[in-house]
Structure 1
Amino acid sequence: MDYEVIRYRIETITSRIKEIGGEVQEVIIDEPASLEQIIKTEEQLGVRLPESFKKVLKEFSGNFSLRWFLPDNMEQPNEFREIFSGRPHWSLELLSQFEEDRMGWIENVFPNPEDEYDVIWHNKLAFCEVGNGDYLAFDMSNTEDDAPIVYLSHDNGEGHGYKIANNFIEFVDNWSRIGFVGSEDWQWLLFTTSPDSGIVADGEAAKRLRTWFGLDI
């Protein structure tokens, strides 16, 4: 991954949001995580982190957060009417808390691994809190070094169980190309073509979004 390209996309997105009268509340790109920090977190969690995730943590940032909002009075094309914000984030330090939260959902709400809805919450590693009770998570089932990313919905969201990307590097690359639109499933589902397609950054919907936003990314 070319991290300078990712930085350029972040700058392009935030500049454009400001130009159209939106609000950029937060841009945090902390220093890369050390190998020691990663190993300590793996020991706390009792799992090995996916390789592509570790690569980004070590080479780009151990704690990244961007938060933007469109202007309230902005007229939007009908197909993009559900898009209002973007809030990508990940943090090595917060992984344990997110995992504790995920396990709480399993214990109290989704305990049955034989249930087709409940089982989606099992054998995962949550890394991004959506903000509405949902999570983005690594699917740790039957993987060796890397893991795809899936959506965990707590309330029958349409995106529950959708694969968002095959690995973390693909995830960051494709998500950044659609402006890091909000992590709620209703904001990014438009940019998928099936439950297993992931975000299709070169799809027609993504191209129309970039045209509408005026983003050359």
Structure 2
Amino acid sequence: MKDITFLLSKWGQILQKIENNNGIVHQIEIEKKATIQEIEAKEKEIGYQFPPSYKYILSNLGKSLAFYYSFSDDTIIPSEFNEIFSGEINWDIDSLQNLNMLADELMEDGEDYGATLRGKLEFSHAGNGDIYAFDMSVEGAEKPVVYWEHEEDTVTYIADSFIDYLFRITELGCIGSEKWQFEYFLSDTGLDTTSTAAAKWKRWFESFSETTIDDVKNNMEQLMAFVVYREKLDEESIDYFRKFNRNELFDYLLQELDKKESFKDQKIICEVIGKVLGNYAETWVRSLWEAKQDTMDTRLRSFLTSMCLSKNEGLTLVCNFLEHESNKKITGYDALSHLGDFYSRDVILWMENHVKFPVTEGWDELFVRSNFSWDNIERWTSLEERHEVTAIHALEKYVHEKDSANNFSFVISGLPSKSDFINFLVKLQTKQVLKKRILSLENAIQNINIFY
């Protein structure tokens, strides 16, 4: 029984550690112990003799057990283990399934997979639908634990026995049930708790703590890692970045930008450059246009241009680029991704010549993000259909943004009185034929107070 006491103690320590660091914890739930009679009845029902270590756990710990945790968003997990986000162990005697039956069903359905399920006894499953099972085809009383991937129809060896599986996964912090979370530690003999990767993970898990901005605010590298990991640059982080020497910060950010490969990481670094350094980086940003470069995504270059160069110079560069690269076949999504950060009504003027159907694929959002005025609404509803529809969907999007809790503070300038605005919308609505446009305008009318 010492082994059961040890496991329960370790599981409690793991969950307490996660909870102490603001993670999400579902505490251990254990059903009463199984009797010999219950186990024998289940064996007869299933058609297999259960492995000894599984029966030992059922009769000395519980017929079922479940617990789960996930790390807090502010826990910075080492990048080499970036697929790990949670931990889980569960089993239930009532969920046991002879997988021969499932294999037969798949064959009857004409499926060209499932043969690897034969000779397996499911005792648990992962959150993504994959299966934990005993390989009952192996000789001997004890049966190894294997993992079946439903998408690939492959079987992976996990541990020599059920009790071996519990000890191995517990030593690794009970990391998440999906294979992509624990595959860092797999070898030909299953979960390897002695590998270099396992040793590094265990050292980190033993000492990790939730990271707060106060922990990293005075260290440039740690603050950057904190922001990149959270994928969010807020005003508090910006204020702390501004306390560093600008030249040192700029040099460091360029080095980091060169190291990062993923778009989302590069985007966060570019946001720091644009929002913290602004026109201090204008010479470098201008150089991105003067020399042919293939190292930076053009969307990031456009963002930096909107933040670091003057509006006139920046808009000219980006608009010319869009027109040249697209051969004047500019999509709404392209326009939004390159011009959405200028927040300028000059963008709306440019859009007049380029907007096209479907306007809901970026054009309507760009119209909103360009701080449209009442004059813009009046003008666009008097132009061609593509302009009118853009304005209609922009009004609907404005209502949605205002109604959501995302701190959308943009106020439309020059609005007429509420009654005049309603009359305008009603007249516009009567012109529409398509139900979607009629409903969009009805939504604006019903939520007229949002505009004021």
TM-score under structure 2 length normalisation: 0.43
Mapped to 2, the partners of 1:111 and 1:52 lie a distance apart of 35
CA contact (8 A) 1:110 1:119 kept: no
CA contact (8 A) 2:103 2:118 kept: no
Q: Shift of the alpha carbon at 1:77?
A: 0.8
Q: Shift of the alpha carbon at 1:111?
A: 8.0
- Secondary structure of residue in 2 paired with 1:5: helix
User: Which position in structure 2 is the counterpart of 1:190?
Assistant: 184
Q: Report the AA paired with residue 86 of structure 1.
A: G
Q: Shift of the alpha carbon at 1:26?
A: 3.3
**Higher share in helix:** 2
Q: Shift of the alpha carbon at 1:109?
A: 6.5
CA contact (8 A) 1:163 1:198 kept: yes
Residues 38-89 of structure 1 deviation map (CA, whole Å, 9 limit, x = unaligned): 0111111011111111111112222111111111343221111111111210
1:161 aligns to 2:162 (yes or no): no
Max radius of gyration: which structure? 2
Q: Shift of the alpha carbon at 1:209?
A: 1.6
- Secondary structure of residue in 1 paired with 2:76: coil
User: Which position in structure 2 is the counterpart of 1:127?
Assistant: 123
Q: Report the AA paired with residue 149 of structure 1.
A: V
Mapped to 1, the partners of 2:90 and 2:52 lie a distance apart of 18
Mapped to 2, the partners of 1:103 and 1:182 lie a distance apart of 28
Q: Report the AA paired with residue 174 of structure 1.
A: R
Q: 1:109 to 1:13 in 2, by over 3 A?
A: farther
Q: Report the AA paired with residue 165 of structure 1.
A: A
Instruction: Please show how residues 175-186 of structure 1 align to structure 2 within 5 Å.
Output: 175-186=169-180
CA contact (8 A) 2:15 2:27 kept: no
* Structure 1 residue runs without a partner (length 5+): none
* Structure 2 residue runs without a partner (length 5+): 208-452
- Secondary structure of residue in 1 paired with 2:190: coil
- Would you say how many aligned residue pairs link Structure 1 and Structure 2? 206
Mapped to 2, the partners of 1:105 and 1:128 lie a distance apart of 17
Q: Report the AA paired with residue 102 of structure 2.
A: G
* The one of 173, 181, 201 aligned to 2:193: 201
Mapped to 1, the partners of 2:72 and 2:4 lie a distance apart of 29
1:211 aligns to 2:207 (yes or no): no
User: Which position in structure 2 is the counterpart of 1:152?
Assistant: 148
Q: Shift of the alpha carbon at 1:131?
A: 2.1
Mapped to 2, the partners of 1:151 and 1:136 lie a distance apart of 5
Q: Shift of the alpha carbon at 1:200?
A: 1.3
Mapped to 2, the partners of 1:91 and 1:142 lie a distance apart of 23
Identity %, equivalent residues: 30
Mapped to 2, the partners of 1:89 and 1:27 lie a distance apart of 9
Residues 111-142 of structure 1 deviation map (CA, whole Å, 9 limit, x = unaligned): 89xx8x63321110000111212101000114
CA contact (8 A) 1:16 1:214 kept: no
TM-score under structure 1 length normalisation: 0.86
Q: Shift of the alpha carbon at 1:18?
A: 0.7
Q: 1:154 to 1:198 in 2, by over 3 A?
A: same
Q: Report the AA paired with residue 13 of structure 2.
A: T
Mapped to 1, the partners of 2:75 and 2:108 lie a distance apart of 39
User: Which position in structure 1 is the counterpart of 2:341?
Assistant: none
**Higher share in strand:** 1
Q: Shift of the alpha carbon at 1:202?
A: 2.5
